[in-house]
Structure 1
Amino acid sequence: MDSGFHGITTIDTGFGDRPQFCAAYLVVHDGRAAFIDCGSNDSVPRLLAALEAQGLARDAVDWLVLTHVHLDHAGGAGTLMRALPNASLVVHPRGAPHMIDPSKLIAGATVVYGEDQFARSYGTLLPVPRERVVEAADGHVVDLAGRALLCADTPGHARHHIAVWDAASRSWFSGDVFGLSYREFDTAQGAFVVPTTSPVQFDPDEMRASVRRMMGADPAAVYLTHYGRVEQVQRLGADLLEQVDAMVALARGLGGEVAPHARLVEALTALYVERARLHGVPDAGARVLELLTLDIELNAQGLEVWLERERGRA
């Protein structure tokens, strides 16, 4: 747990059994609090401990804001809300039905992971009462004791994605739309960033537009769920845009080949290894394989689903 700038605490949710892999954030202002993202059910004790460390009771939390409803961000929402008597849950309108009735989330994730793995990773997803759910369309403002948290519709990673602009710190809470940046890749040049597509809803045009929108606010920092606070936002945004272009080119170029998935995984790995090497990451090849293998697999899936969708529209 890291208590940082402007009343913002970074909480390692413990998801994925890897330190500094998945974060949630606690924002405290004038004695009131908001969580942004929450991890899984197993993360809830860590969030409540972070609240206690700030000397705040559970009834001081007014908001749980979800950037999107993927389970590493939102799987513990129902459990956490039961521990926070005064809180409302804020989520994109497309995500709200899944928080009120998580049955489709459960069914989809069970198909992907199998029943045993789903139970180990996520436990039982609890519903959130409809009256406690606030749908955040683009421009919706969450009022945290007079501190405005602006919700921006930011698709690209998912169609139900919001990023949260905190004018007080001139920072974005970006969920997954501003990529992932594991601290193990930090060098003297700063942070290293990689786009994350999601397996089913990636859209490169929307992601580029969302990244540019966030850069346009001239932020001092971005708070990534994967992982933590990063600065040099203009450089990182430009890196993301370059990589989205390169990833799309790779997917289109390999679409007609034999075993395109394996070739795309190989090509993406080579792309990230080269960028990590240029960033000064020691032993870049081994480091990318150690830390990004799952992300590369998911990116390949996302690119393939997007390409199939694009061909269907042609």
Structure 2
Amino acid sequence: MDSQADDIGITTIDTGFGDRPRFCAAYLVEHAGRAAFIDCGSNDSVPRMLAALDQQGLAREAIDWLVLTHVHLDHAGGAGTLMRALPNARLVVHPRGAPHMVDPSRLVAGATAVYGEVEFARSYGTLLPVPAERVVEAPDGHVVDLAGRPLLCADTPGHARHHIAVWDAASRSWFSGDIFGLAYPELVTGQGAFVVPTTSPVQFDPDEMRASVRRLLAEQPAAVHLTHYGRVDEVARLGTDLLEQVDAMVALARGCDGAADRHARLVEALTTLYVERARRHGVAGAHAVVPRLLAVDIELNAQGLEVWLDRAKR
């Protein structure tokens, strides 16, 4: 199934990003006949988002909000297209991200520089702007009113400076975007989910990430809804794991700094870190599974750590 609902009005939607199942999620939150999407995937994800409405028996007009945790394109690339299908919806985004939704040209330029024109077109298509009058900026503490169900937006930098997490008091859970790491279903064992921090190549900051993780933990949530991927419980344990790994990643990055082959050394060191932690977590064949499953994430984490190192020197 592309989407799965629970008994507290939250549906997990597999956005199908990159044609990889259960890799990237968006969420549908329903209350009193009204609904909000949290994140939306890319343009290719829009049919899945609309199919989730059909599955839940909701009209397009019932969607009041599209809330973006941040504007990275695996979370927000389809926002302009999706908003055109939702006549009553307004888009909620961090103040730093709002200009990029109204005019996505800088997002396009940045992603094209990284991926190239052919790959960008294949993965993301044409990014459509969202009319400025439909965009709501969400500074820290902003509350989205979903028919009386408050959704609190918390400024949670560390992965990106334009990142929010969304607190749903009704379910006592966070929608964490990328600030609470990633936990792929393939790495779940009898000990539960296996979580890994995720940096970004440009805006990673370990101190901010630690503070944001601790902020989420302070609410003693019953669950966290990850973009990569799905609902996780055992939040206190996972938060401790994330904080430990951020510390370890920073130490590895500093240990590799100054080497002529810094990037290659850091990729190898991060791979060893995650393999060993996965092995202790009971992941069968961790030495083979982890490098295959986390290859892109390890590369991005290495890039994020290196950009952070270099920024700190300036």
Task: State TM-score, norm by structure 1.
Answer: 0.99
> What does residue 178 of structure 1 align with?
180
For the pair 1:255 / 2:257, whether they are aligned, the reply is yes
**Secondary structure of 1:34 counterpart:** strand
Provide the C-alpha distance between the structure 1 equivalents of 2:128 and 2:75, rounded to a whole number of angstroms: 14
> What does residue 82 of structure 1 align with?
84
**Secondary structure of 1:137 counterpart:** coil
> What does residue 199 of structure 1 align with?
201
Offset, 1:311: 1.4
Paired letter, 1:154 = T
| Aligned counterpart for 1:72 among listed residues 66, 71, 74 | 74
| Aligned counterpart for 2:97 among listed residues 83, 89, 95 | 95
Alpha-carbon displacement from aligned partner over 1:97-155 (angstroms, at most 9, x marks no partner): 00000000000011111111100000000000000000000000000000000000000
Paired letter, 1:80 = L
Paired residues of 1:5 and 1:169 also in contact (CA < 8 A) = no
> What does residue 159 of structure 1 align with?
161
Q: Which runs of 5+ in 2 are unaligned?
A: none
Report matched runs for 1:103-142 at 5 Å.
Answer: 103-142=105-144
CA root-mean-square deviation? 0.5
Paired letter, 1:260 = R
For the pair 1:20 / 2:22, whether they are aligned, the reply is yes
Alpha-carbon displacement from aligned partner over 1:215-234 (angstroms, at most 9, x marks no partner): 00000000000000000000
Provide the C-alpha distance between the structure 1 equivalents of 2:63 and 2:19, rounded to a whole number of angstroms: 27
Q: Kindly, what percent of the aligned residue pairs are identical?
A: 81
Provide the C-alpha distance between the structure 2 equivalents of 1:275 and 1:4, rounded to a whole number of angstroms: 31
**Secondary structure of 1:94 counterpart:** coil
Provide the C-alpha distance between the structure 1 equivalents of 2:291 and 2:18, rounded to a whole number of angstroms: 16
| Aligned counterpart for 2:59 among listed residues 50, 57, 60 | 57
Alpha-carbon displacement from aligned partner over 1:199-238 (angstroms, at most 9, x marks no partner): 0000000000000000000000000000000000000000
**Secondary structure of 2:294 counterpart:** helix
Paired letter, 1:30 = A
Provide the C-alpha distance between the structure 2 equivalents of 1:59 and 1:2, rounded to a whole number of angstroms: 21
- The farther-off stretch of 255-264 and 222-231 is 255-264
Task: State TM-score, norm by structure 2.
Answer: 0.99
> What does residue 295 of structure 2 align with?
293
**Secondary structure of 1:118 counterpart:** helix
Paired letter, 1:130 = A
Offset, 1:5: 3.7
Provide the C-alpha distance between the structure 2 equivalents of 1:199 and 1:262, rounded to a whole number of angstroms: 15
**Secondary structure of 1:211 counterpart:** helix
> What does residue 150 of structure 1 align with?
152
| Aligned counterpart for 1:270 among listed residues 255, 269, 272 | 272
Paired letter, 1:237 = G
Q: Which runs of 5+ in 1 are unaligned?
A: none
Provide the C-alpha distance between the structure 2 equivalents of 1:251 and 1:175, rounded to a whole number of angstroms: 24
> What does residue 39 of structure 2 align with?
37
Provide the C-alpha distance between the structure 2 equivalents of 1:55 and 1:272, rounded to a whole number of angstroms: 42
Provide the C-alpha distance between the structure 1 equivalents of 2:32 and 2:274, rounded to a whole number of angstroms: 43
**Secondary structure of 1:9 counterpart:** strand
Provide the C-alpha distance between the structure 1 equivalents of 2:231 and 2:101, rounded to a whole number of angstroms: 27
Provide the C-alpha distance between the structure 2 equivalents of 1:5 and 1:35, rounded to a whole number of angstroms: 17
The number of equivalent residue pairs is 312
Provide the C-alpha distance between the structure 2 equivalents of 1:285 and 1:46, rounded to a whole number of angstroms: 34
Offset, 1:42: 0.4
Alpha-carbon displacement from aligned partner over 1:276-314 (angstroms, at most 9, x marks no partner): 0000000001111121000000000000000001111xx
Provide the C-alpha distance between the structure 2 equivalents of 1:132 and 1:40, rounded to a whole number of angstroms: 19
